[in-house]
Amino acid sequence: MDIVSDLWQCNFDDPLSWGHAAYDNFAKLQQRLMQSEHSIIQLNIGWEGRLGRTFLFLIMCLLSLAEQYGKTLHITVSNKVYNYLNNLNFLEKPQLTITPGTELRFLKLNESEGTINMARNILGNL
C-alpha cells in the first residue's frame, strides 16, 4: 500500500464545549481514529466555537492514542483552537505525560458501578 492510498482525511467540526453531547462527539472521533484501517491520518478540527480546556488536553492526547494504534496522526485546527492551544503553551511545550505501558482511552461512564470498577482498576495498576 502506498502512502497516498494509506492517507485518510478526517474532518471534525462538531461542538467541543461542554455537556454530554460534546463528550459523545469526542468519543465518536476517538472511535473513528482507532478503528480506521489507515495508518496515516490527517485530522482537521474546524470547530470555531467555545472550547473547554479539557478538550484542548484531549485533542493533544489524540497524538498518543494514534501512536498506540500504530498510526501517524497530523492535526490541523481552526485559528481559534490554535490560539487556545498556543495560549496554554501546548504547542511550545506539550503538557502531556502518558505512563509507558498504559493505554490511553476516553471512556464515558454511565453508571456508578462503571465508575467504581474504573477506580479499582486504576488503584490496581499503581
The domain segmentation of the chain, as residue ranges, is: 3-124
What does the DSSP 8-state code read for residue 106? -
* CA-based nearest residue to 72, from 4, 23, 7: 7
- The domain over range 3-124 is classified in CATH as 3.30.750: yes
Identify the pLDDT of residue 1. Answer: 46
Query: Do 12 and 43 touch, CB atoms closer than 8 A?
Result: yes
Ramachandran category for residue 19: left, alpha or beta (phi over 0 → left; psi -120 to 50 → alpha) = left
Q: What angle do CA 90, 80, 106 make, to 5 degrees?
A: 55
Average pLDDT, consecutive stretches of 10 residues, N- to C-terminus, the chain (126 residues)? 70 83 88 90 88 82 87 89 80 55 57 70 66
Q: What is the reported pLDDT for 11?
A: 92
